Amino acid sequence: MEKNFLQGFSLEGKVALVTGASYGIGFGIATAFARCGATIVFNDLKQELVDKGLAAYKELGIEAHGYVCDVTKEEQVNALVAQVEKEIGVIDILVNNAGIIKRIPMHEMTAAEFRQVIDIDLNGPFIVSKAVIPSMIKKGHGKIINICSMMSELGRETVSAYAAAKGGLKMLTRNICSEYGEFNIQCNGIGPGYIATPQTAPLRERQPDGSRHPFDSFIVAKTPAARWGTPEDLQGPAVFLASDASNFVNGQVLYVDGGILAYIGKQPK
C-alpha cells in the first residue's frame, strides 16, 4: 500500500524541460527531478553555459541533455521542442525557470530595459508553454510549473519590471489552467522566497565589524523561519507539482518563502 502511494511522487519515464537550468534554482529543481527518475532537458543562451551545465550534471551522475536556445525567440523554441520530441520524447514536464531581474528605480529605467525583463520573464514562459501544450494534449497529460516570485504578490523599490512580469506570470499560470485543465494539463507556480545562492551571497556577507549585512538582517527579521531558503527547499514542492500526486492541483502558486507572505513583521523596538 505504502509503495503504491509513494509511486504517485515518482517521475520515472518522464521527460522534463527546465529552462535556464545550467545553474541556480533551475539546476536544483532539475537534479531533484532526475533523482525521481525523470530525463532532464535544459537550455541556455550560449554553448559555454550549456557545457558548464552538462558538466555539473555529469558530476552528480546525471545524464542531462542541453541545448542552446533563447526562450524569447519563438522559432528557436519551436525547433528545440521538435528536436527534443524527436531525439528524447514528448515533454511531460515543463519548468519555466529562465528569468532576469534589473534593480533600477522606475523613473530611471528605460522602456527598453523594462521590455527586456518582460520579454524574458513573461513572454518566454508564454512562448515555451505554447510550444509544448499541443503534444501534452495529444498525450493526455502534462505538467507546467512557472517560477513565480513573492513579487507576484508584493511590490518593492527598484523592481517594477520584475514585479510586473511575475504578477503577469501568476495570471498566465491561472489562464493555462483554465484553458487546458480539461486535457489533464496542470499548470501551477512556485514562488520562492529569498534563496541563498551564489547570486545572493554578497547580500549575506558579514560586515567588517562582524555584523550582518543590513539586507541579510532585514530578510531574516521578515521571515518567520528566521533564515534564508536554500535551493533544496524548492525541490520537494517542485517534485510534488511535477508528479501525479498533484493531479487535482491546478492554477495555484505555492509560495516557498519561510512564511514571509503570512507575516506582518516584528514591531520595532
Q: Is residue 260 within 8 Å of 222, Cβ to Cβ?
A: yes
Specify whether 162 is catalytic. Answer: yes
Q: Is the dihedral of CA 80, 82, 87, 91 positive or negative?
A: positive
Neighbouring residues of 27: CB distance < 8 A, sequence distance ≥ 6 = 21, 53, 56, 57, 231
129: helix, strand or coil? helix
Element containing residue 89 per DSSP (H, E): none
Indicate which residue of 57, 67, 162, 255 is catalytic.
162
Q: Is residue 95 within 8 Å of 18, Cβ to Cβ?
A: yes
DSSP letter assigned to residue 189: E
Nearest to 145, CA basis, from 185, 87, 101, 114 = 185
CA atoms within 13 A on the CB side of 19: 29
Nearest to 94, CA basis, from 168, 186, 230 = 186
Sheet of 142-147: strand order equals 65-68, 39-44, 15-19, 93-96, 142-147, 185-192, 253-256
Q: Report the amino acid identity of residue 221.
A: A
Chain-centre distance of CA 98, in angstroms?
A: 7
Active site residues: 162
